[in-house]
Chain A
Amino acid sequence: MWKSFMAAVLLTSSAAAHELTPTYPEFKPHIVDGVYYAKLHMWNRREDVKYYEISVHDIEWNKIPFHSSKKIMKLEHLEHVDFEVNIRKSDLDRIEFICTTSKHLKSDTIGTGVRSRICSRIK
């Protein structure tokens, strides 16, 4: 019974996933004056998605300007990536969420697709 359950869990685990860590990133002062940065890590376990968009929001989900080496990242299946989000010191108190959202090519979706978004929170 237990073996069947584990087999079912493992089979389901092969489904596609999207991960973003840490849950609570911290902004640190950048070497450039007036700029703060946070480091995040993404792992693309979604076989059907290769592109992810980074976004930064306040508590009302308004977008906050930021800089990163890429705003839309290309990640192959099972690829890991570390990335930095740079923001202005003046926005530091407003920032609440850093999110990555899956971006889908029209040709990759069959029927209803699933757009996934994971948001880390600044505490």
Chain B
Amino acid sequence: MFRTIITLGAIGFATTGAWATEIGGNVASKCSVFTANAGVYGTPTADELSTKTADGGIDAKVRYDVTLANAYKAKIGWPTSFTTSPTLTDAVNWDGETSYSSGTVTAMSGYEAAKTEYNEYTEFALTQAGSTWFTIESEVKYGTSKAFPGGEYKAMVTAICVAN
């Protein structure tokens, strides 16, 4: 009887030892900015570059993940200059639109109506915890109906996450 108790005790101790390995971690307030789609320019006409699907392009898409509601705001800017292009001798006119695309919480659909726009930037208050996708359209026109010279064109979308 005594031996059985000792044996069971030893097994219990050994098993407890095996269970003692733990995985640590904590959930802290944070914001992550993901590039869901980098975006591609289409050329609907010789003097225009556009990321709109109807113009043969692909809109850029970014995802913001926040773990705490009301802790961050998203500030997204469409491009206002090329990072790579052939030499351009005439004026380049930039336009764009940033809009809420989808989210993991139903209440996020209110982000679109509550957004603030100024210059090339659009601000969204991230009032819900979870993931939100935003779509960025970019359109570029060259001179007065002047054809863009042939070559490679690249531009940058700016996705900022600022703590409140």
Given A106-B154, A109-B84, A109-B156, decide whether A114 and B38 contact each other with a Cβ distance below 8 A: yes
Tell me the bound Cα distance from A97 to B73 in angstroms.
Answer: 13
Interface size on B, residues (CB 8 A): 40
Q: Are B36 and A118 in contact (CB under 8 A)?
A: no
Chain A residues 91 to 109 lying within 8 A of chain B, measured CB to CB, are 97, 104, 106, 109
Stretch in B8-16, B17-25, B27-35, B105-113 with 4+ CB within 8 Å of A: B27-35
Interface residues of B in 35-73 (CB under 8 A from A): 35-36, 38-41, 51, 58, 60, 62-63, 65, 68, 71-72
The count of A-to-B residue pairs whose CB atoms sit within 8 angstroms is 124
The reply to whether the CB of B129 lies closer than 8 angstroms to some CB of chain A is: no
Contacts of B98 in A (CB 8 A): none
A119 near B163 with CB under 8 A, answer: yes
Q: Which of A15, A23, A113, A115 contacts B31 (CB 8 A)?
A: A23
Q: How large is the interface on A (under 10, 10 to 19, 20 to 34, 35 or more residues)?
A: 20 to 34
Encoded as 1 (CB less than 8 Å from any A CB) or 0, chain B from 139 to 159 comes to: 000000000000000111111
A12 within 8 A of B: yes
Cβ contact within 8 Å between A118 and B35:
no
| Residues of B contacting A12 in the complex (Cβ-Cβ under 8 angstroms) | 34, 36, 63
Instruction: Decide yes or no whether B160 CB sits under 8 A from chain A.
Output: yes
A117 to B104, CA, bound (A): 22
- Give min CB distance, A14 to chain B, whole Å: 9
Residue of B nearest to A43 (CB): B32
Q: A15-B63, A21-B28, A23-B31 are in contact. Are A113 and B83 (CB under 8 A)?
A: yes
B83 in complex: contacting residue of A104, A119, A120, CB < 8 Å: A104
Chain A residue contacts of B163, Cβ below 8 A: 23-24, 97, 119-121
Which residues of chain B come closer than 8 Å to A115, judged between CB atoms? 156-159
Complex CA gap A106/B152 in Å reads 11
Evaluate contact between A111 and B40: CB separation under 8 angstroms.
yes
Q: How far is the CB of A5 from chain B (nearest CB, A)?
A: 9
Chain A residue contacts of B158, Cβ below 8 A: 114-115, 117
Which residue among A20, A110, A114 has the maximum number of chain B CB atoms within 10 Å of its CB?
A114
For A18, A22, A104, the residue with the greatest tally of chain B CB atoms inside 10 Å of its CB is A18
7 A-B pairs with least C-beta separation: A112-B39, A121-B163, A111-B40, A116-B33, A23-B29, A17-B34, A117-B160
Q: List 12 A-B contacts (CB under 8 A).
A: A9-B104, A12-B36, A13-B34, A21-B28, A23-B28, A24-B163, A48-B35, A48-B38, A111-B38, A112-B79, A112-B136, A112-B157
